[in-house]
Amino acid sequence: MLRDITIGQYYSVDSSIHKMDPRFKIIASTLYLVSLFVIQNIYAYVLVISFIAAAIILSRVPIGFVMRGLKPIFMLIIFAFLINIFLTPGDPFFKWGFISISLEGVERAFFMALRLILLIIGTSLLTLTTSPIELTDGIEYLLNPLKKIGLPAHELAMMMTIALRFIPTLLEETDKIMKAQMARGADFESGNLTSRAKALIPLLVPLFISAFRRADELAMAMEARCYRGGEGRTRMKVLKYTKYDLRGLIVMVLYLILCIVL
């Protein structure tokens, strides 16, 4: 289950999506996420599904790898679906005791589950097609205007990217600790939900120790390379907009116009 989390991972392949400027991809991903909370009907959702499917095809990331990221949040999707289907008011078409289901509840539950799925896929696609270094440069560039009010753009971008970068590393470390404890007789799979949650508590101490050790090693490595923040730093690769970004901009504008129309 832990290996199925794709957020924070980078899938290296030659594609037009990978060649796009990270600044454009961050802005496009933000507009895509906003559009998910604006659309209200099935026709608009068909448009969004078509758009994200085309993006996955152009990125050349295997569809199975992208969809694998939905496994860890499967229970969350089911929970959101049930909450909306049972608690949404409306004219019930099914009633049994205190349980009532309305058409409005079914519609809202379906759209909410679909919205969560599309949100995770879109977020995963950004990190899968953008390397951590490019993501850092893109975030820092977009935050540069906020330096005028004292916001440390470089440090904030660095922290956000390191956090994303270490998600797969910490998950891999958690998987190793679980296997080591299972080899010593620990049981993480039997019992009810409460007992499984309690069984995960012994994982927290070694996981926190491992995370602090990695953070200390990273800090020492940065100091050994004379890292002193973003002032005066240059970049080996300067960000430039290319023809791929122009094509992406045209597609994004058409997508947003169709979202507003629908």
Provide the residue ranges of all domains of the chain, joining segments of one domain with +: 1-130+238-262, 152-231
CA distance 68 to 51: 19
CA distance readout (Å), 66 to 125, 161, 187, 225, 259: 7, 20, 30, 35, 24
pTM exceeds 0.85:
no
Query: Could you tell me which of 45, 63, 46 has the C-alpha nearest to residue 115?
Result: 45
Residue 163 CA to residue 157 CA, distance in Å, equals: 10
What pLDDT shows up at residue 69?
A: 73
> 3-class SS at 52?
helix
Residues in the chain: 262
* Nearest residue to 109 via CA among 125, 90, 96, 123: 90
Q: What is the pLDDT of residue 7?
A: 63
The dihedral built from the CA positions of residue 25, 26, 31 and 33, taken in this order, carries a sign that is: positive
pLDDT tens for the chain, 262 residues: list them.
445 566 667 888 888 898 898 889 999 999 998 888 888 888 888 999 999 999 999 989 888 888 877 777 777 888 888 887 777 776 666 667 667 777 777 788 888 888 888 888 888 888 888 887 788 788 878 887 877 787 777 778 778 777 777 777 777 788 788 888 878 777 766 766 677 667 777 778 888 888 888 888 888 888 888 777 666 667 777 778 888 889 989 999 999 998 888 8
- CA angle at residue 63 from 62 to 65, to 5 degrees? 65
Compute φ and ψ for 187, nearest 5 degrees. Answer: -120, 115
Say if residues 188 and 182 touch (Cβ distance below 8 Å): yes
Q: What single string gives the DSSP state of each residue in 144-179?
A: GGGGGGT--HHHHHHHHHHHHHHHHHHHHHHHHHHH
pLDDT at 254 (0 to 100): 92
pLDDT at 136: 79
**pLDDT on residue 175:** 78
Residue 250: per-residue pLDDT: 92
Q: Which pLDDT belongs to residue 3? A: 54
CA torsion sign for 123, 124, 128, 129 is negative
**DSSP character at residue 73:** G
Provide the CA 72 distance to its chain's centre, in angstroms: 12
Which tokens go with 5? Answer: 């989390």
Residues 6, 71 contacting (CB under 8 angstroms): no
pLDDT at residue 25, rounded to an integer: 92
